[in-house]
Amino acid sequence: MDKSTYNVKMPLDKVRNIGIIAHIDAGKTTTTERLLYFTGQVHKIGEVHEGAATTDFMEQEQERGITIMSAAVTCFWDYDGERYRINIIDTPGHVDFTAEVERSLRVLDGAVVIFDGRKGVEPQSETVWRQANKYGVPRICFMNKINLIGGDFEKSFSTIKDRLSKKAIAVTFPIGKEQDLHGYVDLIKMQAYEYKGINTPDLIEVDIPEDIKSTVENLRKELVEVLAEQEDSLMEKYFAGEELPEEELYTALRKGTLAGEIFPVLGGDSRTAMAKTLLDYITICLPSPVDVPAIKGIDPKSHEPMTRKPDESEPFSALVFKIVNDPHIGNLSYFRVYSGKVESGSYVLNSTKGIKERVSRLILMHADDREEVDSLRAGDIGAIVGLKDSTTGDTLCDENNAIILEKITFAEPVVSQAIEPATKADEEKMAEALGRLVREDPTFRVSTNQETGQTIIQGMGELHLEIMVDRMKREFGVVANVGKPQVAYRETIKRVVEQAEGKYIKQSGGKGQYGHCWLKLEPNETGKGFEFVNEIKGGSIPREYIPSIQKGVEEAMKTGVVAGYPVVDIKVTLFDGSSHEVDSSEAAFKVAGSMAFKDGCRRGDPILLEPIMKVEVETPDSYMGDVTGSLSSKRGQIQGTESLGNGISKIVAHVPLSELFGYTNELRSITSGRGSANMEPSHYAEVPRNIAEEISGKGN
């Protein structure tokens, strides 16, 4: 396709910003490749297993055959005499890269959820579904791989209804099973189509085969009933027994999907002309930027709620959702424009940080290929070259009409590793490389252990950290040695401490130091985090010193009293204290705040918390006893088991992360390579006393 068509100014209602989300290995990237092929964006199909997919452009992705970074691609599709622009984001399926899915869903209008037709709903399918629910993203479902042995549309479709939503409804039904799959019936048109092999674009109209007629008629009846509920006029016709016009059924389908009342389900092999039908349904069902409610935000000064409509005439507002370090042109900041327009060479306000940034160049992305454009407007997803200080989650807006859009929230990292440069020469390069990677990935953190001076990296799992170290080597030429993975423990208190005193007095000739405060410490509910309440009345502590006390508390929270881990979920109330008119200072009150907090923690029945993972293991029934025994030996609590049929069962357990390093290899040997496990962070829980003593022994 001619690149100049990228920047064609399309009516906003003809734009679709969509994501492709799924469990690992369901075929997301392969599906994206076929959509690009059938829209004319690529002329040779890149296969994931050959490491040649367009959107998997990182070396690590090509080697492992998985998606790590979400990639943005623009393509065009003609449907019903109209041209549509589809911006697709292909996201990772592996739980370690869940932040990529999270931030993509935040800026997308709709999503295609892909399932493996042999397995139906898998653990990560449930995670991405919940993430889509959180952001209210309308979605359609595609049951892929039903051409493979064990592929079963009806069985897999029932798992969506049982485990994700009763609102799922089939809009197509496959013709043929497993290797004999060769077409589908469109349940709205009640028309059957055949295709000949993969990559051939032709869909041939045929009669509905006799052997599936009754199934198709039942599914059509179910579909029509659901669609009739969306529109009163359709309902009347339906009850009057009239013929329902195709156009009105499509309108009802779109209305129901946008409202989250319907999740249309298609099924087939996405490598075939079925991908064209998927493109049709993307344009029919998924929202344009105009269909999405006005974006919410706050006024940076008054903190009053504000909104921006998806309109070019509104003041400019956009959200940075991803930073990528490009070896050729430096930092690329991916962003979604919600209102107004932005031009290259202009200045914008980063309202989150209160700074001005220059937009030196604007780019439309086609995976790792790019095209420069003069401007981007409401509904566009593109990238900016030249932003110096903006990071993921920051709002960019018009200087004279400031707004801060809702930030993207990410899970806390659960695994850490010590890292050091292999040579002295790599030291400076390593610091720079880590700084860049932290800017790119909000779930990747870097800190220094004050006692040992070691650099510590933190992430979402072993694979996540492995990829980061690999990227440092390849992209920045830094060779590093890493220690064993460590668990990100936390600390908190169990008891209320009514009075904790911090008094810092220092006399050393000349001006002394004086800071004095009383704090009350209370455990906060799990996940609520840190709360600081100022209840000073009558000025016993001058107002200007109160932020210093809070700062002192926050610094003391970084190293708890049990084993030096960060303190979480705690409420601190400042209720009294005293000051000295000459010797008091911000520094003195900061120390006093820290002293009072440490004292309160020691007396608040402090405990150590550990991350608990939700582990789902699929195993042949014959190994069930061995697998449950192994999980139990790891302090795992079995939450339930379920038979998946075909002699395979699923075990769900909560297991402490500290017991799970190397578990994948152990599971392989227990099940002769036939078992598979999926894990994701579930919650933090108290560490048993004997283990806590062991850990704190190491920590001190």
Confidence of residue 254 (pLDDT cuts 50, 70, 90): very high
Paired tokens of 285: 């069902």
Residue 64 has pLDDT above 80, yes or no: no
Cβ proximity of 22 and 31 under 8 Å: no
Paired tokens of 190: 């009640």
Residue 562: name the closest of 449, 416, 698, 413 by CA.
Answer: 698
pLDDT at 647: 80
Sign of the torsion formed by the C-alpha atoms of 387, 389, 390 and 391: positive
Paired tokens of 563: 């084993």
Percent of the chain with pLDDT over 70: 87
Q: Which CATH class is domain 417-487?
A: alpha beta
266-275 pLDDT per residue, tens: 988 878 888 8
Burial class (CB in 10 A: 0-12, 13-18, 19+), 602: middle
* DSSP state at residue 25: T
How distant, in Å, are the alpha carbons of 85, 86, 336, 379, 490 from that of 341?
18, 19, 11, 10, 44
How distant, in Å, are the alpha carbons of 375, 507, 549, 550, 588 from that of 593?
50, 19, 5, 7, 9
For residues 427 and 479, give the distance between their C-alpha atoms in angstroms, rounded to a whole number: 10
Q: Is 609-699 a CATH 3.40.50.970 domain?
A: no
Mapped onto helix, strand or coil, the DSSP state of residue 553 is: helix
Cβ proximity of 671 and 620 under 8 Å: yes
- The CATH architecture one would assign to domain 491-604 is 2-Layer Sandwich (3.30)
Give the CATH H-level superfamily of domain 295-405: Translation factors (2.40.30.10)
pLDDT at 491: 92
**Structure-token match 């197509």, residue found:** 172
What's the average model confidence in pLDDT over 363-382?
Answer: 78
What's the average model confidence in pLDDT over 163-183?
Answer: 88
pLDDT at 62: 40
pLDDT at 32: 73
In the chain, domain spans = 3-291, 295-405, 417-487, 491-604, 609-699
Paired tokens of 112: 């295609």
123-148 pLDDT per residue, tens: 667 777 877 887 888 999 999 888 88
Give the CATH H-level superfamily of domain 3-291: P-loop containing nucleotide triphosphate hydrolases (3.40.50.300)
For residues 153 and 174, give the distance between their C-alpha atoms in angstroms, rounded to a whole number: 7
Q: Cβ of 73: how many Cβ atoms within 10 Å? A: 25
Percent of the chain with pLDDT over 90: 26
For residues 674 and 672, give the distance between their C-alpha atoms in angstroms, rounded to a whole number: 6
Paired tokens of 509: 């000739």
Exposure string for 382-415, b = 16+ CB within 10 A, e = fewer = bbbbbbeebbbbbbbbbeebbbbbeebebebbbb
For residues 603 and 523, give the distance between their C-alpha atoms in angstroms, rounded to a whole number: 12
pLDDT at 518: 95
Cβ-Cβ contacts under 8 Å for 75 (sequence gap 6 or more):
1, 35, 36, 39, 40, 41, 85, 86, 88
Residue 556 has pLDDT above 70, yes or no: yes
What's the average model confidence in pLDDT over 29-48?
Answer: 61
pLDDT at 613: 87
For residues 57 and 51, give the distance between their C-alpha atoms in angstroms, rounded to a whole number: 9
pTM above 0.85, yes or no: no
Confidence of residue 635 (pLDDT cuts 50, 70, 90): very high
pLDDT at 573: 95
pLDDT at 637: 93
Q: Cβ of 485: how many Cβ atoms within 10 Å? A: 20
Intrachain domains 417-487 and 491-604 with the same fold: no
Ranking 91-105, 153-167, 430-444, 586-600 by mean pLDDT, the lowest is: 91-105
What's the average model confidence in pLDDT over 495-500?
Answer: 93
For residues 691 and 229, give the distance between their C-alpha atoms in angstroms, rounded to a whole number: 57
455-496 pLDDT per residue, tens: 888 887 777 788 888 888 877 888 888 887 778 889 999 999
